[in-house]
């Protein structure tokens, strides 16, 4: 079995613990390799390396940093198919989706590289003569990046590329379920000539390595994507050192289907939104709120299509749904299916582990007669489980959509412009799609949510630069005399 290393100060290194863990292919249950179980000492060494490299990297002109990221983007493009197949084996998602995820990393690398010539500030007129006012962006320092299993190369790229172009140095801690794609990304950035110490990677347990990053006083910012409970803990702990924290913590995303919707289009969107990535997206559509006039027709068409979805290994390009990431997630989905039954919802499709397959496979599952207060309609399941909820009107549908703790993505299918704009205005979500499912974010636009989904920050787009820079306001007085803002201007007005 191949053994993979930590990446510390430009070198691939063993953990001081001498311990490793296995990364398991969720479709075959075969090991992908052995990975270092990093210690507190390893994590601190990674931070020290990043701190030492910060001064030189932050002083490197941003366009030069951009050239390195352009080089990495081209390498990602050249290796797209190999990376996609590796991603499918490590994560389980079907090959078509894996290719899309690698493309997302490519797109982010190109986008961030271009920002090297657009780290924009602003200028404004001064209230005093012979005085110039502007803002400039400065890197934060050493940043800690903690990423989940469900997008093992795209989310690290979403965080790393903007952090790097902004002049920060970093320590990346990927999910222990999918460390291999993060390692491959770091290899590419290293080949692209990112200087020694700028990027560091530690693998291992979140309670050890992740906690070490959050607690290290040299880390100036934490960017985290993961569960609500872990995000709350990070926010509490990081506040002790006044660290900047960016959190993305999931969703319980609704699709509203109105009685005037294009029914075939809505069914297409719900199938993709609910069962794409086996439901393991923070933007997955786990609730569909359907106008009662069209609910019977919609349910019939949806179930007919869902029955034809093929479950299996993502390397088989005829497959629609791959495995869940691990046995714990499989058990969690089973537990929620039982909760749905106990609450009185009607299980009309699926509800069981897929038979005759060795991995963590679960059938596409649909519940009907679901009410808004049921746990299966309130809590994030992170699996291929969909709840159909009836609504009398758009107003009630929006009320149901907003009745959960989260507020990441949302969608409405309608041919009525007024319905669309009411949904955009009133649904409590960071993202709203019209006549499209809740998944499909593009990297040049802000990504993030409201309520329990996050803490107000946004990833991607120009907001990615906001996440990883500080704004400095500069006043340049060339008058040759003391000028007093507010005071001198007040005297002049008199």
* Residues annotated as part of the active site: 248, 282
Residue 431 in contact with residue 410, Cβ under 8 Å? yes
Residue carrying the six token digits 């439901």? 279
Phi, psi of 216 (to 5 degrees): -75, 125
Q: What is the CA radius of gyration of the chain?
A: 24
Q: How far apart are CA 42 and CA 345, in angstroms?
A: 49
Q: How far apart are CA 105 and CA 87, in angstroms?
A: 12
| Residue of 332, 430, 431, 344 whose CA lies nearest to 384 | 332
How far is it between the farthest Cα atoms of the chain?
88
Burial class (CB in 10 A: 0-12, 13-18, 19+), 335: exposed
Q: How far apart are CA 97 and CA 150, in angstroms?
A: 11
Helix (H, G, I), strand (E, B) or coil at 470: strand
Q: How far is CA 112 from CA 72, 86, 203, 383, 464, in A?
A: 11, 24, 25, 32, 9
DSSP one-letter string for 417-448: HHHHHHHHHHS-SSEEEESS-S----TTS-B-
Q: Say how many residues make up the chain.
A: 494
Residues with Cβ within 8 Å of 491's Cβ and at least 6 positions away in sequence, in order, are none
Residue 450 in contact with residue 429, Cβ under 8 Å? yes
Antiparallel, parallel or unpaired: β 406-407 and 450-451: antiparallel
List b or e across 446-476, with b for residues whose CB sees 16 or more CB atoms inside 10 angstroms: bbbbebbbbbebbbbbebbbbbbbeeeeeee
């Amino acid at each position: 079995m191949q053994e993979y290393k930590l990446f510390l100060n430009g070198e691939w290194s063993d953990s001081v613990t001498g311990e490793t863990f296995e990364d398991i292919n969720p479709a075959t249950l075969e090991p992908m390799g052995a990975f270092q179980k990093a210690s507190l000492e390893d994590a601190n060494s990674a931070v020290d390396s990043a701190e030492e490299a910060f001064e030189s990297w932050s002083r490197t002109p941003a366009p030069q940093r951009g050239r390195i990221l352009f080089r990495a983007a081209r390498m990602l493009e050249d290796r797209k198919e190999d990376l996609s197949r590796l991603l499918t084996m490590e994560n389980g998602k079907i090959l078509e989706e894996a290719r899309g995820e690698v493309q997302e990393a490519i797109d982010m690398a190109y986008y961030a590289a271009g920002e090297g010539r657009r780290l924009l500030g602003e200028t404004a007129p001064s209230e005093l003569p012979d005085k110039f006012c502007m803002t400039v962006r400065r890197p934060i320092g050493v940043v800690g990046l903690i990423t989940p299993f469900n997008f093992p190369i795209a989310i690290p790229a979403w965080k790393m590329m903007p952090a790097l172009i902004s002049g920060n140095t970093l320590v990346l801690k990927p999910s222990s379920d999918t460390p291999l794609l993060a390692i491959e990304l770091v290899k590419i950035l290293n080949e692209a000539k990112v200087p020694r110490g700028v990027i560091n990677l530690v693998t291992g347990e979140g309670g050890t390595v992740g906690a070490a990053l959050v607690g290290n006083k040299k880390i100036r910012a934490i960017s985290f994507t993961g569960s609500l409970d872990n995000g709350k803990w990070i926010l509490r702990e990081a506040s002790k050192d006044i660290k900047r924290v960016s959190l993305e913590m999931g969703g319980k995303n609704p699709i509203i289907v109105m009685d005037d919707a294009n029914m075939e289009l809505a069914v297409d969107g719900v199938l993709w939104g609910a069962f794409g990535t086996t439901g393991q997206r923070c933007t997955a559509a786990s609730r569909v709120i359907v106008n009662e006039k069209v609910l019977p027709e919609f349910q019939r068409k949806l179930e007919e299509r869902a029955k034809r979805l093929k479950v299996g290994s993502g390397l088989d390009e005829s497959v629609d749904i791959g495995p869940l990431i691990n046995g714990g997630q499989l058990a969690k989905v089973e537990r929620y299916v039982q909760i749905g039954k106990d609450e009185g919802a009607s299980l009309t499709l699926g509800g069981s582990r897929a038979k005759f397959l060795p991995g963590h496979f679960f059938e596409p599952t649909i519940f009907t007669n679901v009410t808004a207060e049921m746990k299966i309609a309130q809590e994030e399941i992170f699996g291929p489980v969909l709840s159909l909820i009836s609504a009398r009107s758009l107003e009630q549908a929006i009320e149901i959509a907003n009745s959960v703790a989260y507020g990441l993505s949302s969608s409405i299918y309608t041919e009525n412009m007024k319905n669309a704009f009411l949904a955009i205005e009133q649904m409590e979500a960071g993202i709203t799609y019209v006549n499209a499912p809740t998944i499909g974010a593009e990297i040049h636009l802000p990504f993030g949510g409201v309520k329990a989904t996050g803490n107000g920050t946004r990833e991607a787009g120009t907001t990615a630069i906001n996440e990883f820079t500080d704004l400095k306001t500069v006043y340049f007085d060339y008058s040759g005399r003391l000028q007093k803002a507010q005071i001198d201007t007040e005297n002049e007005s008199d």
